[in-house]
Amino acid sequence: MNVQDMTVAAQVGSDRRTPPELHTTSAGPSWQSRCINALLRLLPIKKQTASAAAVQAHVRKLALRPAPHVPTGLGRGVQVTRNNAAGWPVYRTAPSARPDTGNYVVFLHGGGFINEIVRAHWRFIGYLTRNAGVRCVVPIFPLAPAATARDLVPGTGELLRRLLEEAGPAKVTVVGNSAGAGLGLAASQWLRDSGYRQPDGLVLISPAVDAALGRPEHMAIAARDPTQDIPGCIEAARLYAGNLDVAHPYVSPLNGGFRGLPPMLAFTGTYDILHPDSIELAAKARAVGTPIELHLGQGQPHNYPLLPTPEGRQARERILRALATGLR
C-alpha cells in the first residue's frame, strides 16, 4: 500500500459511516504540474530546510537584513491601506470600486514563522480582493525566534476578536497557507477556549499543524517533496515554540481539539510532507461534527493552490466560491 492509499484508508477508517468529505484528483498531475515539480527540484529551495544548521543560518541572515513586507504584485483594481494593531503592521486591501462593502478575509501568510510575506502571497491577496470582492486584512506578525507561539496565537486571536466585533453582518473568513494556516487554526482554538465568537470559516492551504513530523508517512513523502525537508521544518518549529513544547496546541494545533470550530475548507498535495497531517485533521474534525471539505491533489506540492497550474486554478476557484457562498 502506497502513502496515498494509507492516508485515504486512515481517513475513511476513522469513521466508516460518515467519513470527511474528500475531493481527490484521481487522474494524476497535469503536465504543467509535472513541469513545475521538476523546476522546483532544480532550484535550491529545499536546501533551506535540509538541516537545522541551514535554518539557523537563514534566520541569522534575516536578522541582519530583514525582508520587506510592503505589498507588491496586488494588481489593478485593488486599494491598500496600512495601520497598526498591538504593534503589528496591518494592511487592508479592498476593491477600488467599492472599498467600504463586502465580506472580510483575514489572510495569514506562510513561511515557517521565520520568513516574511512574499510577492506570491500578495498576488493571491490581490486575486481574492478583486475576484471575490472581499476586504482582506493582512497582519504582518513578528517572526521567530524574536516572537514565538506564545505571542502570536493570542495576538492573532485578539485581532480576530476585534475584527469580528467590527464586521457587523459581514462574514469573516480566515485564509492561511502553510504556517499561516496552522496559526489560523490555533487562533480559532484560542477564541473558542476564551469564550469568543468564531470566524465564519477557515480556509487552510497546505496547513502546518503538527510540528513533530515523525511518522513513517512523513518520511516516505520527504523524498518526493520538491520544496521542504523534515530536519529544517522541525528546527523552524522549535524556534517558533520558544519555551513551549512543540506538541503544545499553539505550535501543533492538531493537538488542540476541533469541537466548536467553524466549517473548514482544506487543501493538501501528496508531494507535501505535511500531507498526512491534513488527513488526520479532517478525520479529527469530522469525528466531533465540525464540517470540513478536504481537497487532495495527486502529485501536488506544498501550497499548490497558489501555483499557475490547472490544479491550482481549480483550487482557487473553489476558494472563491467558498468566500461567495460561505462554508457549511
Q: What is the pLDDT of residues 54-67, one digit of tens each?
A: 999 999 999 999 99
Q: Which sequence spans correspond to the domains of the chain? A: 3-8+22-323
Mean pLDDT of 262-277: 98
8 Å CB contact between 86 and 106: no
pLDDT given for residue 1 in this prediction: 33
- Whether 201 shows a pLDDT value over 90: the answer reads yes
Strands (E) across 194-249 are located at 201-205
Q: How confident is the model at residue 3 (pLDDT cuts 50, 70, 90)?
A: very low
Cα dihedral 160, 162, 163, 168 in deg (nearest 10): 130
Single out the residue of 254, 107, 236 nearest to residue 180, CA to CA: 107
pLDDT given for residue 54 in this prediction: 98
- Whether 124 shows a pLDDT value over 70: the answer reads yes
Mean pLDDT of 243-271: 98
Grid coordinates given for 232: 529544517
Q: How confident is the model at residue 26 (pLDDT cuts 50, 70, 90)?
A: low
8 Å CB contact between 199 and 188: yes
Query: What b/e readout covers 26-58, taking b as 16+ CB neighbours within 10 angstroms?
Result: eeebbeebeebbeebeeeeebebbeebebbbeb
Q: Which CATH superfamily is domain 3-8+22-323 in?
A: Alpha/Beta hydrolase fold, catalytic domain (3.40.50.1820)
Distance separating alpha carbons of residues 152 and 137, to the nearest angstrom? 16
Grid coordinates given for 280: 488526520
Strands (E) across the chain are located at 21-24, 78-85, 88-95, 104-108, 135-139, 172-177, 201-205, 264-269, 292-297
Mean pLDDT of 307-324: 96
pLDDT given for residue 24 in this prediction: 77
Q: Give pTM, 2 decimals.
A: 0.93
8 Å CB contact between 233 and 112: yes
Question: Bridge-partner residues for 294, per DSSP?
Answer: 22, 266
For 261, phi then psi, to 5°, come to -95, 165
pLDDT given for residue 25 in this prediction: 64
- Whether 142 shows a pLDDT value over 60: the answer reads yes
Q: How confident is the model at residue 22 (pLDDT cuts 50, 70, 90)?
A: confident
Distance separating alpha carbons of residues 102 and 173, to the nearest angstrom? 12
Give the model confidence (pLDDT) of 158-167 as tens digits. Answer: 999 999 999 9
In a 10 Å sphere around its CB, with 0-12 CB exposed, 13-18 middle and 19+ buried, how is residue 2 labelled? exposed
Task: Work out the angle at residue 23's Cα, subtended by the Cα atoms of residues 19 and 27, and round it to the nearest 5 degrees.
Answer: 130
Q: How confident is the model at residue 127 (pLDDT cuts 50, 70, 90)?
A: very high
Break the chain down into helix, strand, coil percent, rounded to 5.
45, 15, 40
Q: How confident is the model at residue 12 (pLDDT cuts 50, 70, 90)?
A: very low
- Whether 280 shows a pLDDT value over 60: the answer reads yes
pLDDT given for residue 86 in this prediction: 83
- Whether 264 shows a pLDDT value over 50: the answer reads yes
Mean pLDDT of 8-35: 62
Instruction: Give the chain's mean pLDDT.
Output: 93
Percent residues over pLDDT 90 in the chain = 90
In a 10 Å sphere around its CB, with 0-12 CB exposed, 13-18 middle and 19+ buried, how is residue 229 labelled? buried
